[in-house]
Chains A and B, each alone.
Chain A
Amino acid sequence: MWLERLQNIDRRVIYTVLLIVLLAPMIKPIGIPLTVNQTTHQVYNLIESLDPNTDIVMIGMDYSVAGAADVHPQAVAVAKHLANRGVKMVMAAFVPDGPMLAERILGILGDRVTYGEDIVNLGYLAGGESAVKKFIDDPANTFARDHRGNPISSLPIMNNIKTIHDFTLIIDFQTGSPGYQDFLRQLPSDGPLYAVGIVTVSVPNVMPYLHSGQFAGLLPGLRGGAEYEVLIGEPGEGAARMDAQSLGHLVIVTFIIVGNVAYFLSKQQEKSRKK
């Protein structure tokens, strides 16, 4: 009887246990040590190698508010790193939520950057892959005004941008479409380096692109954000949430094991009864 129960635990019980396990470390963090993956190191080293006097980075703000919990910490950490190094950033979005999230990052960066000189939030361009292509073909004239309503010509940072080749690196934070496939299809083969920050669920999908060298780096979900925070020495949202994610994984694995042990034992019982 109890074996059957363990095989069919009510989903509300599973949800309650998971909720408690996720909430507890957010209230009282445990501080589970985190090792940094090679792909995150790759992005970090790439940004370390940039020259603040000549290099400009385009940041693709292509994630939705829904997936922000997974991707926003990465975007914040990378923007902080670029700002600390004095590298200029051009933020553009091909999903509607992007500009609002870019404003949140600008708020976090505060005095580290001067708006219009070190960084700009160009806003959102509708059209999916067509919009990506439009920007890649003519980044200087695709947006007439930035998200704050300033004419593009009035922003000093944009005087340095004539073609897509004026960017040394494009780092695209994304949760879906348009995303890496659209960029890879449209970017010229001799164009800027392309790195991505993506939601955890898409990590298996992008591995072939990483191996083939089409990605210059990859930040995998919340873990990527937390790892980057460790690398720049500024623990933030990502590191705080990793404890919860870690324990959440353990709970799910525990439920799977419990279900299987009960399944296995009940099969054994059945066999011995038949004998």
Chain B
Amino acid sequence: MTSYFIFCTFIVLGSIIIGVLVATRSGKIAPKIRRIPALDSIEEAVGRATEMGRPVHYSPGYGDITTSTAPQTFASFDVLRYVVTLTARYNTQLIVTCKSPQSFPMIQELVKETYLSAGKPDMYREDTVRFISEAQFAWAAGVLGIFNREQVAANIMLGYFMAESLLFAEGGAQVGAIQVAGTGNLAQTAFFVAACDYTLIGEELYAGGAYLSNDPTKVGNLAGQDIVKLLTIAFIVLGTVLATADSNWLFELITK
């Protein structure tokens, strides 16, 4: 056993999240989500691209679906589905660029199916979802090329981003695109804040799916997440008090 404490924490916190999720799905509780301006602005961005007759660009970021970046990629898929629905509604061209070869077929399928369920299967073209390169800066160069050649009017970047964040954000600003971005990688959030019109900070990225779809599963998941966060805060306060009182009890417990 690696650590009893970590295992017990996993079981307890996991049970809380699933419990709240199930309660929300069954209608026993109905959590509310606060307004998130960055997510509200997505429709405005797609609308502007429609008015200008130029494409919308979507990037799910650097992350893939098998490492620790996967939750952010999956959170991005939820928003992507919403963006596809909007572009289908407004008949606006969408370009999705991918770095991860693993998530590429999933994104193709997601975009194709969403267009189909929106009654616009013809809007999905061979070059709607484009794999650029697995090499970080080759991918970045490819995306910047698309910004310039196709003059994108809206640039939506949600997922795990690394050094390319500023290249995309500033590249998008240079072609005059309205930009919405969000990442869980804090080092890159500063670049998004500086160069984009709207930014999701930290875990707001995970709220995207719940906020945009109002799906009880996702809303319940989000509510469970918040309860776990409250418990964590209580735990931190307890730890601080005990450490100040020179007690090692909690420290010893978490290292067991």
Contact = CB atoms under 8 A, between A and B. Distances in A.
Interface of A: 11, 64, 66-67, 128-130, 175-178, 181-182, 185, 189, 199, 201-202, 204-205
B132 interface: no
Contacts, number: 40
Interface of B: 3, 62, 64, 66-69, 136-137, 162-163, 174, 185-188, 255
Contact of A129 (B67, B162, B174, B186): B67
A181 B186 CA distance: 13
Given A66-B136, A201-B187, A177 B66 contact: no
30 contacts: A11-B174, A64-B136, A64-B137, A66-B136, A66-B137, A128-B64, A128-B66, A129-B68, A130-B66, A175-B163, A176-B136, A176-B162, A177-B62, A177-B67, A177-B68, A178-B67, A181-B68, A182-B67, A182-B68, A185-B68, A189-B3, A189-B255, A199-B163, A201-B163, A201-B187, A201-B188, A202-B187, A204-B186, A205-B185, A205-B187
Contacts of A199: 163
A176 B137 CA distance: 13
Contacts of A205: 185-187
A159 B39 CA distance: 56
B73 to A, nearest CB: 12
A189 B62 CA distance: 30
A181 to B, nearest CB: 6
A177 B137 contact: no
B186 A177 contact: no
Contacts of B67: 128-129, 177-178, 182
Nearest to B255: A189
